[in-house]
Amino acid sequence: MGATQVEVQQMIQDRLKKIEEIKLSKKSTEKEKADSVEVFRALLRCIERSQAELLEVMEEKQKAAERQAEEFIKELEQEITELKRRDTELEQLSHTEDHLHLLQVYPSLCSPPHTKNWTDIRINTHLRVETLRRALSQLQEELSKEMEKLDEIELKRIEQYAVDVTLDPDSANLFLILSDDGKQVTCGDTEQNLPKNPERFDPLVSVLGKEGFSSGRFYYEVQVRGKTKWTIGVTTESSNRKGKITARPEFGYWTVWLRNETEYKALDSSRVSLSLKQAPQKVGVFVDYEEGLVSFYDVEVRSHIYSFTGQSFTEKLYPYFNPSNNDEGKNSAPLIITPVKHHK
């Protein structure tokens, strides 16, 4: 009975703990909703401000065009008055019988009047495309800033799903050297004398995390500083580990890579070139199993890199690491699984 009572008490504690988790989840959902609303409000403010600034520029240009038009009209009216006066004089002169007077005034009346050539003069009533483009560019910058805030909110949310990932030596290619704590991997120059078991990668210089995940959400971070090429992400338990491997979602791989120091790509069904502001020093990998989502983040600048969405997972997923070959020392830096720092 004592043992049963202890068991019942433990069950009570477990359920109380679950209640707290549910309450915290509710609070987290409310905060996420509030943060999302604030982001959209900020975006609307940006759009309204950009629209107001554009209208102000348009109105200034319109007023300037109106002032110019008034000046042109005034000048044209003055010229018309002068031309009418000359026309009257010429009409009167055409009926004169005073030939001497005619000869005296004829040269001045027949000389070209002092008027402007109005043929190519136009009033610029159109808003130049550059003005609109500049306004849209400013709006785009503001939107980018708000997107960065959104990335920050998202990263704070997913950090709570951090898991402790340790490398699995049984899956490591024979050229790979793992640290004693299973947190670092580099590629050596010679094969190690280890069993060539079925789960070991060959010839691809890759290794998996020990633990697989078949539900829920998980997140981990990998330091890539100092490397010229690497591939990281997740793969399925049954994905191919021997021979030539096609790292694409349809073959059970969701990864991003670096090649040639600056070429970043997401290995989706077709390779997607990634335009990053700067080289990531640490990459975060987040998976939502039920949502079918695999996302990558630049941890240090707190920005989103790429997401595989709408995936359908049916088996265990394992963290995947490929430090690539040593490249005569140019790519000797290790991939390092680092602890996740929780930001408030």
Can you tell me the distance from the alpha carbon of 20 to that of 192, in angstroms, rounded to the nearest whole number?
Answer: 49
Say yes or no: 115 and 155 in one domain: yes
Domain assignment of residue 343, yes or no: no
Of 108, 134, 159, which residue sits at a domain end?
A: 159
Q: Which residues contact 344 (CB under 8 A, 6 or more apart)?
A: 156
Say yes or no: 303 and 220 in one domain: yes
Say yes or no: 148 and 207 in one domain: no
pLDDT for 126: 60
Domain assignment of residue 258, yes or no: yes
pLDDT for 254: 98
How many structural domains does the chain have?
2
pTM of the complete model beyond 0.85: no
Say yes or no: 213 and 271 in one domain: yes
**Spatial strand order in the sheet of 317-322:** 207-208, 317-322, 230-236, 253-259, 263-267, 271-273
Of 159, 174, 204, which residue sits at a domain end?
A: 159
Say yes or no: 212 and 177 in one domain: yes
- The CA-atom distances, in angstroms, between 159 and each of 164, 182, 210, 303, 319 are 12, 21, 20, 14, 16
What residues in the chain have per-residue pLDDT under 70?
109, 112, 124-129
Tokens (6 digits) for 174: 């024979």
pLDDT for 128: 62
Q: Domain residues for 87?
A: 2-159
Of 159, 175, 199, which residue sits at a domain end?
A: 159
Query: What per-residue string of b and e applies to 99-121 under the rule 16 or more CB within 10 Å gives b?
Result: eeeeeeeeeeeeeeeeeeeeeee
Say yes or no: 120 and 260 in one domain: no
